[in-house]
Structure 1
Amino acid sequence: MSPSVDLVYGAVLASALFHAAWNALIKGSSDKLLSAIGIAGVAMLLAALGLPWLPRPEPASWPFLLASLILQVVYMQLVARIYRVADMSIGYPVMRGTAPMLVAMVSVLFLQDAPGPAALAGVVTICAGILCIGLPGDARPRKSGGLELALLNAVVIAGYTLVDGTGARLSQAPASYTLWIFLLRGAVMIGMVLPSRASDLVRHFKDHWSAAVLGGCGTVISYGVALWAMTLAPIAIIAALRETSILFGIVVSGLFLHERLTPARVAGACILVIGVIVLRLAP
């Protein structure tokens, strides 16, 4: 029996909360790159524990797995760089908010997976709300490069969303496909930093192991649920619904990271909620 629509959408909303949480852990870290690598390393260990019990992905999905690995490594490095130069309440909405619109455009133009008019209206409304959250809303200068890097990462996010949405379907084993991503990504990221910062990485993990464990579990649960949902619903719709993590991110950035929540960001959150309702009610 296929899961109900309510179950699928509810699971994606829960995954959005986990996604915002691990991003906040990186933003709040003193060394954002090592924090990102620590989270990727824990996710790698979880994947190594789970993979022996799961079937191997079908060979048709392996090229997508390789492409995703490259995009995921670039994504994690960009996340660390963005949070060095921009507030989470700005960088996170922009990089996460632009990606669903790119996914929807590609789905409409190149994939036979386009949402209907009402669902597409929900996607566009969600994107508008998230981008509104990303407006500055005050006269204080930003650090240079934050928005540009966030927009660049939006392209990367759209890329791996489309790649993994297709790869998970071809794999015939979405859980296994997801864990292989985490296993390979963690190994590559750790391997990239070991030659130059091995002692720093060990020291950072000893001091911040709990954040790494929480973040690693959060990212595995978040992305695993999203890929599972993409096997049951159009990629563009799931990608947009997952961006409700912005609501959680805005709350976290204000309460725990003490970032300023401007009227534009609050208005954007309201627009985003309207978009989610439109998306949920779409036939």
Structure 2
Amino acid sequence: MSGLVAAVVLFAALLHASWNAIVKSGKDIFLSTVLVSVSAACISLAALPFLAAPSPASWPYLSASAVVQLAYYSLLAAAYKTGDMSHTYPLMRGSAPLLVALASWPLIGERLSPMQMGAVGCICAGIFGLYFAARLPATASAPSSTGRATAFALGNAVVIASYTLIDGIGVRLSGAPAAYTMWIFVLNGAGLLLWTAMRRPADLLAYAKTRWPLAAFGGFGSLASYGLALWAMTQAPVAAIAALRETSILFAIAIAALFLREKISRRRYLAIVLIAAGAVLMRAG
């Protein structure tokens, strides 16, 4: 993995943590999720006419990814509605690279080096350390994690691993990584908008009036984050990119502490050191 690819993936991780914080900070988390998705779709629609179309061979993967990611957005909203970002984000993002690494070899024939396998384990161990730190709050007033939030987050980890593998194959077949990415967001945004317009049209319009500037930034961050990650998957092994991208937890923890005012204990900081060490190992491998 070149230095440029590693830097791009880390920037994508920062963008990902940022748009998740926008969703989490909303008064109505599901509607925030919808607005972010629709904003990303609008940006994509504006750019698609200037891009080459994805190869027909990639469209089955594109369609499958769009369906799977509708489940992702639904579980994301449910997880943030029932739990803190510092609890649910590590579980969602931390479990996925391990699942991707285990599935990459039998599905697409990619093997990680021993050092990269160690990096995957190190990153996952650090993120699960954050999970256990959340279960042991530093103060009596700190909220403990809920079973429902944990279930939603772990379920979403399976979804994340699924679409990571689907898109890792699809983007390589597409011959047009940018257009492939933008079609995903167009299909996702259209599906979420249609469902919400049928169920909560008045709520959506009223919420959009006050939330659209942040939603627009979140949509850009969501689109750019995933697009950069997919581009990186054309330059390096899918599992390696998936693991390094999970360093978004470093940015998420900082955002949760500084902007969402969540408490960060020493146990959580120790877990963050493990994640940083894993990122260094992944770069060296």
Name the counterpart of 1:32: 29
Alignment partner of 1:108 is 2:105: yes
Q: What SS does the corresponding residue of 1:207 show, helix, strand or coil?
A: helix
Name the counterpart of 2:136: 137
Name the counterpart of 1:8: 5
Aligned-residue offset at 1:137: 2.4
Out of 40, 51, 56, which is 1:54 matched to? 51
Aligned-residue offset at 1:113: 1.2
Alignment partner of 1:171 is 2:174: yes
8 Å contact 1:137–1:263 — kept in the other structure?
Answer: no
Aligned-residue offset at 1:111: 2.4
8 Å contact 2:87–2:145 — kept in the other structure?
Answer: no
Provide Cα deviations, 1:157-183, integer angstroms capped at 9, x if missing partner: 000000001000000111110000001
Q: TM-score, normalised by structure 2?
A: 0.96
Alignment partner of 1:162 is 2:161: no
Q: How many residues align?
A: 279
Q: What SS does the corresponding residue of 2:236 show, helix, strand or coil?
A: coil
Identity of aligned residues (%): 44
Aligned-residue offset at 1:110: 3.1
8 Å contact 1:137–1:262 — kept in the other structure?
Answer: no
Q: What SS does the corresponding residue of 1:259 show, helix, strand or coil?
A: coil
Provide Cα deviations, 1:14-65, integer angstroms capped at 9, x if missing partner: 0100000000011111000000000001101011011101111111111100
Out of 239, 243, 246, which is 2:246 matched to? 243
Provide Cα deviations, 1:83-138, integer angstroms capped at 9, x if missing partner: 01110001000110000000000013332111111111111111111111122222
Alignment partner of 1:205 is 2:208: yes
Alignment partner of 1:216 is 2:215: no
8 Å contact 2:185–2:223 — kept in the other structure?
Answer: yes
One-letter amino acid of the counterpart of residue 238, structure 1? I
Aligned-residue offset at 1:264: 2.1
- 2: CA distance, partners of 1:196 / 1:94: 30
Name the counterpart of 2:262: 259
Q: TM-score, normalised by structure 1?
A: 0.96
One-letter amino acid of the counterpart of residue 29, structure 1? G
Structure 1: 5+ residue stretches without partners: none
8 Å contact 1:89–1:253 — kept in the other structure?
Answer: yes
One-letter amino acid of the counterpart of residue 13, structure 2? A
Alignment partner of 1:128 is 2:118: no
> Structure 1 segments of 4 or more deviating over 6 A?
none
Name the counterpart of 1:273: 276
One-letter amino acid of the counterpart of residue 227, structure 2? G
One-letter amino acid of the counterpart of residue 79, structure 1? L
Q: What SS does the corresponding residue of 1:57 show, helix, strand or coil?
A: coil
Alignment partner of 1:89 is 2:118: no
One-letter amino acid of the counterpart of residue 279, structure 1? M
RMSD: 1.1
- 1: CA distance, partners of 2:277 / 2:54: 38
Aligned-residue offset at 1:258: 0.9
- 2: CA distance, partners of 1:142 / 1:118: 33
